[in-house]
A and B are shown apart, each in its own frame.
Chain A
Amino acid sequence: DQQVKQNSPSLSVQEGRISILNCDYTNSMFDYFLWYKKYPAEGPTFLISISSIKDKNEDGRFTVFLNKSAKHLSLHIVPSQPGDSAVYFCAASASGTASKLTFGTGTRLQVTL
């Protein structure tokens, strides 16, 4: 039972354009969402997070949008850079078990020149 889903296993975007990575969840108890980036042979690196009391959070080139009614969140990267090429995981947690993250299966982003 995949409670956090990333339905696009891969995405290719040109440098300078916007990258949009999507994530859906089914567990209505989730109230905190995070995005991680992972390079090969390294552990995931935290990118940005959002609490369910917000619908948008911005950090530099990265913006996360949360649509609670649709149980959907997205990560926007503008502008995309070649160094952004990595696997992106969305993750969610529920109040009371904040350290227990449920991850999606990841989307591999390729930013081309």
Chain B
Amino acid sequence: GAGVSQSPRYKVAKRGQDVALRCDPISGHVSLFWYQQALGQGPEFLTYFQNEAQLDKSGLPSDRFFAERPEGSVSTLKIQRTQQEDSAVYLCASSLAGGSIEQYFGPGTRLTVT
């Protein structure tokens, strides 16, 4: 079946612009996660949804970062007034059910802020 998909795969933004990154999880997966992977680093947790409820947003680095999943399927990560330090790969993952810890990752969106 189809895996997790993300769009766009690459995004170049000028500093100060707003960006929106989309994640389509595996159909039927209840849990959805966003991670940020800086160059040469491991992924770092940003936020977690169970259906449409955002249960953990402790990893969001600033109030410029906002995530939503209004209907419990597709999710959007929005970054306002982008800064150079926001340049990274943003990974989305989904898992089957709350409490199921096996996560399936999408290919990521590489964001470059110039």
Whether A and B are associated in the same complex: the answer reads no
